[in-house]
A = this chain, B = another copy of it.
Amino acid sequence: MKINKNYANVAESYLFSDIAKRVENFTKNNPDKKVIKMGIGDVTLPLCDAVIKKMHSAVDEMSKKETFKGYGPEQGYAFLRNSIKDYYKSHNVELDENEIFVSDGAKSDLGNILDLFDKDNVCLVPDPVYPVYVDTNVMTGRKIVFMNANEDNGFLPLPDKNVKCDIIYICSPNNPTGAVYNYEQLKMWVDYALEVGAVILFDSAYEAFVEDDLPRSIFEIDGAKKCAVEFCSFSKTAGFTGTRCGYTVVPKTLEFDGMNLNKMWLRRQTTKFNGVPYIVQAGASAVFTKEGQAQIKEALSYYKENARVMAKTLEDMGIWFTGGKNSPYIWLKCPNNMKSWDFFDLLLEKANVVGTPGAGFGKNGEGFFRLTAFGDKENTKTAMERIKSISFS
């Protein structure tokens, strides 16, 4: 039996285990210090009432023969797909319900969509980047070309006609940088993809944080339905990181090599997936009710206020950063040209605050640092006061 040898080429990531080790050491040596964690991109507020109520009633349905649900449609229940369709409509994007596929999260679908593409394609991936875009392609042996995201382009690289590629990854609002493409910039990407015949894999997991006049979906851009697949999630929008639900939009008009991607993805999902738990889909549908929308907006405002406090602190300190608005992430330039890990150690030592060294997200991340706004409000304020009191000179 021949193994897929490409797995040997997947780099082991020690980023978060390295962080954990340094924090553990610090805590052991400083048991009296209260460490505040702003490193991991996980939510902390509970599920909203509307979702909780709906899930309780869905559990009850599963307890009675008359209302019990067995196998559901692999693509997701129509009640949820229709709600997602209406949600898109509220952003002026018209979709057919059969273009929407309910998933167990953006991470799964971002990996699994690659099933549809030949190994012999070149991927264009920004650096710094969410490591999953890279690893999933290394596992198949696809060639990866990086595009530089840096201070010069505000961590929003634009198409370079000299670079040949077939599969383009765009995440906006971006993880880890918090940077967001505007309409004009995203249009440049769509035009470029259409011109070279590439597919755009658009990760919109953080769209709910957009508040300015910026695109929340790539399908707000003319032509995108002929070149893009969009991945979205309830994880950050409604606190579903441990509840697992997302959705992927594959337009019916998406064709490559004479084959229809919507039909291929349906075939993939019906063959290798059995849908998301009924209880979870019921809960997700409550996110779109009037009550649910009001409640998730409250939680989003809580995180956004954290981001605002963080951004204000950095502004006051004269530290360069992206994100902090329209995003739960702040991507800051380490003061005094410090390296990412040196800044990590300094912040832990002097402010007892944990963040994520930018170097962990790619070579262009060196010298930068990520903080997340998903923490507790009081802790966030305290962390910022502590950072402000550090002398970086």
Contacts and interface: CB of A to CB of B under 8 A. Distances in A.
Contact of A273 (B46, B107, B167): B107
B117 A4 contact: yes
Interface string A1-31: 1111101101000000000000000000000
How many of these chains are in the complex? Answer: 2
Contacts of A120: 2
A242 B118 contact: no
Nearest to A280: B277
A71 B278 CA distance: 20
A242 B277 contact: yes
A267 B111 CA distance: 12
Main secondary structure on A side of the interface with B: loop
Contact of A268 (B105, B139, B272, B275): B139
Given A44-B65, A46-B68, A117-B1, A105 B274 contact: yes
A256 B3 contact: yes
A164 to B, nearest CB: 11
B42 A68 contact: no
Contact of A47 (B55, B63, B275): B63
B63 A121 contact: no
A241 interface: yes
12 contacts: A1-B198, A3-B259, A5-B118, A46-B65, A68-B239, A70-B242, A111-B271, A132-B271, A136-B272, A244-B275, A244-B277, A280-B280
Given A3-B116, A46-B62, A243-B277, 16 more contacts: A2-B120, A2-B256, A3-B256, A3-B261, A5-B257, A5-B259, A10-B267, A46-B65, A46-B68, A70-B242, A107-B272, A136-B271, A139-B267, A242-B275, A244-B275, A277-B277
